[in-house]
Structure 1
Amino acid sequence: MLTVVIETKDDEEGLARTLASLVPGAVEGVVREVIVCDVGSTDQTHYVAEHAGCNYVAGGAADGIAKARGEWLLLLEPGARLLEGWADSVIAHAARMTMPARFSRSRASRQPFLSRAFSRPTALAEGLVITRRQATALCKSAKTAEAIARGLATKRLDGEIVVAPTGKA
Structure 2
Amino acid sequence: MLTVVLECQDQESELAQTLSVLVAGAVEGLVSDVIVLDHGSHDGTSRVADAAGCRFHSQWDIKDIVRSARGEWLLFVEPGARPQAGWIDEIAEYMALNKAPARFTASRGYRRPFFQRVARTRPPLELGLLMPKNQALATVKSGMRLADFVRGQKPRKLASELIPSWVTRAR
> Match for residue 129 of structure 2?
128
> Match for residue 37 of structure 1?
37
Letter in 2 for 1:52: A
Distance in 2 between residues matched to 1:72 and 1:33, nearest whole Å: 11
Q: Which moved more, 1:131-140 or 1:107-116?
A: 107-116
Kept in 2: contact 1:61–1:145 (CA 8 A): no
* Residue correspondence of structure 1 range 58-77 to structure 2 within 5 A: 58-59=58-59, 62=62, 63-77=64-78
Report the CA distance between 1:16 and its aligned residue.
0.4
Aligned to 2:144, the other structure's residue is in SS state coil
Aligned to 2:109, the other structure's residue is in SS state helix
Kept in 2: contact 1:60–1:145 (CA 8 A): no
Coordinate RMSD, CA, aligned: 1.9
Report the CA distance between 1:60 and its aligned residue.
5.0
Q: Which moved more, 1:13-22 or 1:105-114?
A: 105-114
Aligned to 1:110, the other structure's residue is in SS state coil
Percent identity, aligned pairs only, is 43
Letter in 2 for 1:164: S
Kept in 2: contact 1:25–1:31 (CA 8 A): yes
Kept in 2: contact 1:60–1:143 (CA 8 A): no
Aligned to 1:102, the other structure's residue is in SS state strand
Aligned to 1:17, the other structure's residue is in SS state helix
Q: Which moved more, 1:118-127 or 1:5-14?
A: 118-127
* Residue correspondence of structure 1 range 45-56 to structure 2 within 5 A: 45-56=45-56
> Match for residue 17 of structure 2?
17
Kept in 1: contact 2:7–2:36 (CA 8 A): yes
Aligned to 2:165, the other structure's residue is in SS state coil
- Summarize deviations over 1:5-51 as a string: whole Å, max 9, x none: 11111111110011011111111110010111112112111101000
Report the CA distance between 1:132 and its aligned residue.
0.8
Q: Does 1:117 align with 2:118?
A: yes
TM-score with structure 1 length normalisation? 0.91
Aligned to 2:43, the other structure's residue is in SS state coil
Equivalenced residue count is 168
> Match for residue 158 of structure 1?
159
> Match for residue 92 of structure 1?
93
Aligned to 1:122, the other structure's residue is in SS state coil
Q: Which runs of 4+ in 1 moved over 3 A?
A: none
Distance in 2 between residues matched to 1:118 and 1:40, nearest whole Å: 31
- Summarize deviations over 1:113-148 as a string: whole Å, max 9, x none: 333113511111000001111112222166211111
